[in-house]
Amino acid sequence: MALLAESLVEEWLNRKSFFTIRGVKHGVHEVDLLGIRRETNGTVEGWHVEVQASFRPVGYIAKLTNDIAGEGDNRRAKTSAKARTPEEVEACAREWVRGKFLTDDKKRVRNALWPGVTWSYHLVHAVVRAESELTAFRGLGVECHPFTAILSELLQRAKGGFSGSAGGDIAEIVGYYNAHSSSAGGAHPIDAGVDRPGRPL
């Protein structure tokens, strides 16, 4: 699921005229997507994009920090689904943002690929457990994009962009389904008269 979601996000970036690279490794870690594009004024814009595509989330996006998780018999799992206080949400979000975007390793990776670019930070998310976590990310300078918004944009093929990833094929399939489902009055294509072996029309 994660790879499919990343492919669609990469397609979305390509259609926005970004040149992209996906899955950049650095040690045991990975950057989901990096994209650059030249603006009309000649400057180069860089996006570092992380994708979290959970549709039935149990826990939070950010893991618990070591301090909050605690020690000994009372230690909580870092992926604990237990409700967090606003202060815990903020602290864990800060550590997540640091780990995903701000470590020296991440900076070296970005600078090695495209030196001199000023980067902005982005999170594409599906369903989240707590809206307060997204609020914390935004407060730390991360722009949050709902996955539904990306899919909606992919269904509207705009002029001027280009298709450059495997996600383009997936987007075409989704667009085909959407168009035919809509033309059938919102019914599922099968129920709208599309044949299926063993099912009478």
pLDDT at 4: 87
Strands (DSSP E) contained in 82-194 are: 118-125, 142-146
* Per-residue confidence in pLDDT tens, the chain, 201 aa: 688 899 999 999 999 999 999 998 887 789 999 999 998 888 999 999 999 999 999 999 999 999 999 887 789 999 999 999 999 999 999 999 999 999 999 999 999 989 989 999 999 999 999 999 999 999 999 999 999 999 989 888 655 556 655 556 666 676 676 777 766 555 544 343 334 444 444
Distance, in Å, from the CA atom of 97 to the CA atom of 52, rounded to the nearest integer, reads 13
Q: Residue 58 — φ and ψ, nearest 5°?
A: -100, -45
> How is the chain split into domains, by residue range?
2-183
pLDDT at 180: 72
Assigned CATH class of 2-183: alpha beta
pLDDT on residue 195 = 43
**Residue 23 neighbours by CB under 8 Å, 6+ apart:** 6, 30, 31, 32
pLDDT score, position 201: 40
